[in-house]
Amino acid sequence: MKEIVVISGKGGTGKTSVMGSFSYLGKSDLVIADCDVDAADLHMLLGPDYQRSEDYYSGELAILDQDKCINCGACLSVCQFDGIQSENGTFRIEAMNCEGCGYCQRVCPTNAIQMETQKVGEWYTSSSKVGSTMVHAKLGVGAENSGRLVAQVKNEARRHAKKEGKEIILIDGSPGIGCAVNSALSGADYVVFVTEPSVSGIHDLKRVTELVKGFSIRSGCIINKCDLNSQMLDELITFMADAGIEHIASIPYDETFTAAMLEGKTLVEYDKGPASQVLIKSWEKIKQFAETEGCLK
């Protein structure tokens, strides 16, 4: 079984559109895992049916029992996160700020504070409209973007891949370099970067490449909007060559991506234009790369 992760570092490079097209192209061989759980968009292209949903609990929140509280302020004095607010001599928990460390509970002389596990999201197992199984999640607003939810989505996807005898798990990773991306990369066989030839695109790709290096995973790159700036394109290609990132393909700026999205379709099912052709070839390449034993591993 091979795990292919699609990430971008910078947002707005077309990662989810590319991911959607690959899901469509590989539908009979793969299970999809949407690990971009904070503002997940892939479901809009793949029409999952939310067959099964499960609550996701994570972290704790301090709950203050006003009847037991003697307003001594011990909690306030230890909290590092502005999680305790005092108004006119009484105290309350500011849930948005509470980090869940439980220090206040430990110092409260009257046991007025309890720590409660919170439901912070849901995760789903679906059959997507392209036919393959899709595991995805919705993280509640303001929740900690925990790597565990990502790990859970991936594990469920692995389980299904095994059960259905699918060879590939295609993973949509999140932006940034924090804990969610770390979780998405762990155990992956191949990483596909989707970037653009802009100062920000290059800058973010460099940072996320540092992270991927730490995992010793092979990687390749799709350059979207490749005709945006030729100087930046040269710089990007040089960087990729130096970093050992395979150049999978380049796609010129194309508003068909948006047109397809407006109809809730992946690009390759929307039309057979030049961008679709590039994506079809890219997917073939990626499958090959992922099957070749890694030179970096």
Nearest distance in Å: CB 284, other proteins: 27
Helix (H/G/I), strand (E/B), else coil: 82: coil
Count residues contacting other proteins (CB under 8 A)? 69
- Secondary structure E strands in 151-227: 168-172, 190-195, 218-224
Structure tokens, 159: 């389980």
Residue 224 main-chain phi, psi, to 5 deg:
-90, 155
Per CB under 8 A, the list member of 21, 176, 254, 266 interacting with other proteins is 176
What does R_g of the chain's alpha carbons equal in angstroms? Answer: 22
Q: Could you tell me how many helices (H) and strands (E) the chain has, helices first?
A: 11, 11
232 part of the interface to other proteins, by CB under 8 A: yes
Residue 72 main-chain phi, psi, to 5 deg:
-80, -25
What amino acid is encoded at 3 in this protein? E
- The CB density around residue 141, as the number of other CB atoms within 10 Å, is 8
CA nearest neighbour of 136 among 147, 149, 119: 149
280 part of the interface to other proteins, by CB under 8 A: no
116 part of the interface to other proteins, by CB under 8 A: no
Interface characters, 61-80, with other proteins (x: CB under 8 A): -----------------x-x
228 part of the interface to other proteins, by CB under 8 A: yes
126 part of the interface to other proteins, by CB under 8 A: no
Per CB under 8 A, the list member of 55, 255, 295, 297 interacting with other proteins is 255
CA nearest neighbour of 132 among 48, 63, 73: 48
- Taking the least distance from each CB to other proteins, the nearer of 40 and 112 is 40
Per CB under 8 A, the list member of 144, 167, 246, 269 interacting with other proteins is 144
3 part of the interface to other proteins, by CB under 8 A: no
237 part of the interface to other proteins, by CB under 8 A: no
CA nearest neighbour of 19 among 49, 43, 48: 43
Structure tokens, 287: 């499958």
- Taking the least distance from each CB to other proteins, the nearer of 133 and 152 is 152
218 part of the interface to other proteins, by CB under 8 A: no
- Contact residues for other proteins, defined by CB under 8 A: 9-13, 16, 38-39, 41, 44, 57-60, 78, 80-81, 96-97, 99-103, 106, 115, 139, 141-148, 151, 155, 174-179, 182, 186-187, 196-201, 203-204, 207, 210-211, 214, 225, 228-229, 231-232, 253, 255, 258, 261-262, 264
